[in-house]
């Protein structure tokens, strides 16, 4: 490996911000045809490093080499021109335009009088799309594509330049398992073409499936590089956080109490049909299925965001009709939403105000908000959930993903809900915080909360649930206890295969 | 290739004091611009800093200021209100007309009720029907102007007996040597400042403007909050109309024309974000004063009235630019 010239090499990169040394002498390299994972907990410096590579930040020290040649990236366009291409977690496509227009935006082929040469444009685009074996063509409007296909458009865009290194930043965050397979094939293709690939992800299974080497950052420092084939999750995790993690099946069986919530024959248009289940106090029920199976939509109905077309919701045995989140919250239903930044938090507000937002009308001293009581609530849940923040005045937007998620959870715990729904509780959260959040969910059940967990990650569902409900295309296929469930029967269930004899 | 663990002691020292000064400058960009203007005008004309002049500036800014207080709520909630100028004309005309028909004691509450009713219509359209506030209030700007002309038949309104009424107190009175418009402005600023900073309603206004979806997901009834912000705005406009009517005791139908932009300029100059979620009443008051002093300073320098329009807006844009540049730490936008 060492005799090849690296596609991209970073030497001793230092980047400081006022008061913070975000990157402290980071060096690493990607060889042509190599998939190189870059790992680290949130705040380890991965994003800063990517911004340096992308020309958004200039390093204070150190140099970047593309091939043999030292380069300075003045801005993102410059980085692209030098052969460094990013596939971002958040897509940056113009949804109203076609695939071809997006791919060649800014460099559309021209005819006389500046007219666009559509024929050439579409021909070139279709050629690239053929390479990617996708099911859409150059004329498709991007907004009509699934997230996975939009990502393919981004990748196609990368293929139009002579890419030396392609950087994938959490590319599978919103992909289904089938879509991931396609993405991995594309990455294999890029590899064969001799492109160096930097792959950023929190998901160990993926890292071990597709990468050749793994480099780890911690606290802005380079911690070492491991050859994937010669290491295991434990070693990588050790390097990242210095403690090993347990990712096994839930063994603890909390004492189950009364039925907290019961759903009978609930349907909502095409989204889900005839769904019935119950969740007891002290129980964690995991909802597992592919994206589009209807899990989030059920949660939204329970939270008053989506009116059901048929069926009943009973809370503590009493039927309720929920027309808004305010109704649901008043009835003791809380939702920790999937989109933490978009739905869970007001990023420009401080930690305390976010945490007490749902009960701000109840925390009053005369006509005013009782700020003392708010601080007391914040302190209590900061300690209980181990939220790491300099203080309640800190803006939530400045916290790491894990700590942000804890703020959202604390927001609801302080109101003592009957049912706590958590949708993808650890999406985009680093490994260390992940296991903390899993433990938290278990603790909540032990304290007598009814918890509904929606997750697309099987280890997570197995790890936290007392029971697992498998969904497929809007239907509840099967409900497992944690003793019955195996990887195989769970995968069958979420693929729509019902057991020959239904479990009683 | 190094596969060994490398560990270096973390170096996290230095630059703190410099950073703090930088942060302070970045936060106070507008205030600094304000001080620079004041110094500049004072050098140009020594009358600028005389107490009489200062009091005069604040008094003439009071009407604009009262309106800006309400618009601050609307802007923080993530919306715009371009109808305030036109609504102020309406309030002024109505209260002047009703003064002679019903007497001031009834005319004032009647005018407030009518103005609030229009505010409620806007609040309903933007809050409950979720229509774009720019389009709704731009439409209302014209619609209210039409309403005012219909009401007055296009005639100027005058109070017949200008000497024999206590109505003049709001615009022309003084207490403790301070003009009443300033007292109203100050009192309303204090009241609304407390409402915004200290009450659950104020908190919800910030939440709705900062992230409306997250606010909804926290059980806040977003429509109700937005609706209430337009009521606050209408209340402030009615108060401004009262001061205006009482000061001039007669008015044209177009008295508030163009003020919506000046009001918005003052709010933004104060540092509220047009995206919503940030801003304070105190900052808006600063914005109002900056605008007032700039206009007064230009007058004292002896610039022609029409030239002032141009220069005022150049200065506003410069000030906002400096403010943004200070926050970014550079003069030009970082991404080409």
Domain ranges, ordered by start, for chain B? 40-154+167-328
For B217, the closest of A29, A344, A368 (CB atoms) is A344
pLDDT tens digits, one per residue of A370-421: 999 999 999 999 999 888 888 899 899 888 888 899 999 999 999 999 999 9
Neighbour count for residue A75 (Cβ, 10 Å): 14
State the best of A9, A12, A18, A226 to mutate against chain B, taking most chain B CBs within 10 Å: A18
Q: Tell me whether residue A1 is in a domain.
A: no
B43 close contact with A: CB closer than 8 A? no
At residue A321, the 3 state secondary structure works out as coil
Report chain A residues whose CB lies below 8 A from the CB of B216.
324-325
B221 close contact with A: CB closer than 8 A? yes
* CA nearest to A355 within chain B: B218
Question: Residue A458: what pLDDT?
Answer: 77
Q: Is A38 left (phi over 0), alpha (psi -120 to 50) or beta?
A: beta
Q: What is the mean pLDDT of residues A182-188?
A: 87
A423, A412: one domain? no
CB contact under 8 Å between A347 and B23, yes or no, is no
Percent of chain A's residues with pLDDT above 90: 39
For residue B33, pLDDT over 80 is answered with no
Q: How far A17 CA sits from the closest chain B CA (Å)? A: 9
To which residue do tokens 């289940």 refer? A277
Question: Residue B334: what pLDDT?
Answer: 55
pLDDT tens digits, one per residue of A486-502: 777 887 787 777 776 44
Q: How far B192 CA sits from the closest chain A CA (Å)? A: 13
A299, A225: one domain? no
For residue B19, pLDDT over 70 is answered with no
A194, A157: one domain? yes
Contact A369, B203 (CB under 8 A): yes
A159, A125: one domain? yes
Residue-number span of the structural domain to which A28 is assigned: 8-241
Contact B86, B145 (CB under 8 A): yes
pLDDT tens digits, one per residue of A248-273: 666 666 678 899 999 999 999 888 99
Q: How far A224 CA sits from the closest chain B CA (Å)? A: 5
Domain count, chain A: 3
Q: What is the mean pLDDT of residues A455-483?
A: 87
Weakest-pLDDT range from A300-309, B38-47, B136-145:
B38-47
B16 close contact with A: CB closer than 8 A? yes
Q: What is the mean pLDDT of residues A120-142?
A: 87
Give the CATH number of the domain where residue A306 resides: 3.40.50.300
For residue B21, pLDDT over 60 is answered with no
Of A383, A401, A416, the residue that ends a domain is A416
Q: Is B41 left (phi over 0), alpha (psi -120 to 50) or beta?
A: alpha
Q: What is the mean pLDDT of residues A166-184?
A: 82
A441, A396: one domain? no
A456, A322: one domain? yes
Weakest-pLDDT range from A39-48, B116-125, B138-147, B162-171:
A39-48
B332 close contact with A: CB closer than 8 A? no
A317, A433: one domain? yes
For A225, the closest of B1, B207, B216 (CB atoms) is B1
A426, A382: one domain? no
Q: Which of A30, A293, A59 is nearest to A176 (CA)?
A: A293
Measure Cα distances from A399 to A113, A347, A391, B215 in Å. 52, 9, 11, 19
ipTM value for the complex: 0.82
* CA nearest to B18 within chain A: A18
State the best of A360, A395, A407 to mutate against chain B, taking most chain B CBs within 10 Å: A360
CB contact under 8 Å between A19 and B12, yes or no, is yes
pLDDT tens digits, one per residue of B90-140: 999 999 999 999 999 999 999 999 999 999 999 999 999 999 999 999 999
Of A393, A416, A439, the residue that ends a domain is A416
Q: Over A167-229, what HEC string results?
A: EEECCCCCCCHHHHHHHHHHHHHHHHCCCEEEEECCCHHHHHHHCCEEEEEECCEEEEEEEHH
For B16, the closest of A19, A222, A224 (CB atoms) is A19
Better-scored residue on pLDDT, B299 or B67: B67
B203 close contact with A: CB closer than 8 A? yes
pLDDT tens digits, one per residue of A140-150: 998 888 877 88
Distance (Å, whole) CA A297 – CA A301: 6
Q: Tell me whether residue A90 is in a domain.
A: yes
Q: Tell me whether residue A3 is in a domain.
A: no
A20, A142: one domain? yes
State the best of A29, A346, A405 to mutate against chain B, taking most chain B CBs within 10 Å: A346
Q: Tell me whether residue A406 is in a domain.
A: yes
Of A416, A447, A480, the residue that ends a domain is A416
């Amino acid at each position: 490996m060492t005799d090849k010239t690296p596609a991209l090499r970073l030497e001793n990169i230092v980047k400081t911000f006022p008061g913070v040394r975000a990157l402290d002498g980071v060096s690493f390299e990607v060889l042509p045809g190599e998939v190189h994972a870059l790992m680290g907990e949130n705040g380890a410096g991965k994003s800063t490093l990517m911004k340096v590579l992308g020309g958004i930040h200039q390093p204070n020290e150190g140099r970047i080499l593309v091939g043999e040649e030292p380069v300075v990236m003045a801005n993102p366009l410059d980085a692209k021109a030098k052969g460094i291409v990013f596939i971002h977690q958040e897509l940056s496509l113009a949804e109203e335009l076609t695939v071809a227009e997006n791919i060649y935006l800014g460099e559309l082929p021209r005819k006389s009088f500046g007219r666009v040469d559509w024929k050439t444009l579409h021909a070139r685009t279709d050629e690239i799309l053929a390479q990617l074996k996708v099911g859409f063509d150059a004329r498709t409007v991007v907004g009509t594509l699934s997230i996975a296909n939009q990502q393919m458009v981004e990748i196609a865009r990368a293929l139009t330049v002579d890419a030396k290194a392609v950087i994938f930043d959490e590319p599978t965050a919103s992909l289904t398992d089938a879509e991931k397979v396609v993405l991995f094939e594309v990455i294999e293709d890029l590899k064969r073409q001799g492109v160096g690939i930097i792959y950023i992800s929190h998901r160990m299974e993926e890292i071990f499936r597709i990468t050749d080497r793994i480099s780890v950052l911690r606290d802005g420092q380079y911690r070492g590089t491991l050859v994937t084939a010669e290491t295991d999750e434990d070693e990588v995790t050790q390097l990242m956080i210095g403690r090993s993690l347990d990712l096994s099946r839930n063994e603890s069986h909390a004492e189950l109490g009364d039925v907290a919530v019961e759903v009978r024959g609930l349907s909502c248009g095409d989204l889900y049909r005839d769904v019935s289940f119950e969740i007891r106090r002290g129980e964690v029920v995991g909802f597992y299925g592919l994206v589009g199976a209807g899990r989030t939509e059920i949660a939204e109905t329970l939270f008053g965001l989506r009116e059901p077309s048929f069926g009943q919701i009973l809370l503590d045995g009493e039927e309720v009709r929920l027309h808004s989140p305010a109704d649901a919250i008043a009835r003791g239903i809380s939702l920790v939403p999937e989109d933490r930044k978009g739905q869970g938090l007001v990023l420009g507000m401080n930690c305390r105000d976010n945490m007490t937002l749902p009960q701000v009308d109840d925390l009053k001293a005369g006509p005013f908000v009782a700020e003392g009581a708010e601080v007391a609530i914040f302190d209590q849940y900061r300690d209980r959930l181990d939220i790491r923040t300099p203080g309640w005045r800190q803006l939530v937007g400045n916290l790491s993903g894990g700590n942000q998620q804890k703020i959202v959870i604390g927001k609801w715990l302080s109101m003592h809900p009957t049912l706590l729904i958590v949708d993808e509780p650890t999406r985009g959260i680093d490994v260390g915080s992940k296991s903390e959040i899993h433990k938290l969910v278990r603790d909540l059940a032990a304290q007598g909360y009814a918890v509904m967990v929606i997750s697309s990650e099987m280890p997570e569902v197995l790890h936290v649930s007392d029971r697992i409900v498998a969904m497929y295309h809007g239907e509840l296929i099967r409900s497992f206890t944690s003793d019955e469930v195996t990887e195989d029967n769970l995968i069958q269930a979420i693929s729509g295969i019902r057991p020959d004899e239904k479990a009683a | 290739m190094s596969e060994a663990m490398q560990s270096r002691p973390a170096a996290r020292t230095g630059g703190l004091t410099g950073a703090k000064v930088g942060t302070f400058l970045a936060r106070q960009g507008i205030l600094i611009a304000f001080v620079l203007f004041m110094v500049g005008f004072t050098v140009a004309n020594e009358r600028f800093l005389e107490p009489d002049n200062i009091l005069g500036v604040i008094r003439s800014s009071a009407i604009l200021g009262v309106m800006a207080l309400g618009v601050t709520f609307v802007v923080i909630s993530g919306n715009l209100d371009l109808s305030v100028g036109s609504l102020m004309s309406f309030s002024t005309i109505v209260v002047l007309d009703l003064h002679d028909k019903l007497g001031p004691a009834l005319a004032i509450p009647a005018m407030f009720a009518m103005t609030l009713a229009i505010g409620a219509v806007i609040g309903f359209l933007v809050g409950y029907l979720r229509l774009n506030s720019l389009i709704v209030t731009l439409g209302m700007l014209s619609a209210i102007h039409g309403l005012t002309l219909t009401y007055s038949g296009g005639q100027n309104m005058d109070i017949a007996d200008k000497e024999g009424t206590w109505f003049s107190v709001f615009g022309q009175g003084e207490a403790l040597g301070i003009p009443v418009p300033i007292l109203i402005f100050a009192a309303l600023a204090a009241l609304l400042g407390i409402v915004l900073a200290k009450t659950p309603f104020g908190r919800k206004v910030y939440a709705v403007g900062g992230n409306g979806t997250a606010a909804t997901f926290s059980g806040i009834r977003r429509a109700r909050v937005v609706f209430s912000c337009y009521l606050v705005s209408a209340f402030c406009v009615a108060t401004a109309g009262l001061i205006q009517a009482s000061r001039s005791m007669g008015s044209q139908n177009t008295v508030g024309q163009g003020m919506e932009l000046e009001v918005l300029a003052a709010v933004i100059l104060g540092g509220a974000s047009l995206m919503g979620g940030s801003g304070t009443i105190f900052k808006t008051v600063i914005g109002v004063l900056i605008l007032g002093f700039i206009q007064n300073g230009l007058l004292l320098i002896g610039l022609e009235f029409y030239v002032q329009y141009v220069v005022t807006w150049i200065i506003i844009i410069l000030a906002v630019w400096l403010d943004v540049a200070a926050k970014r730490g550079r003069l030009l936008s970082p991404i080409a």
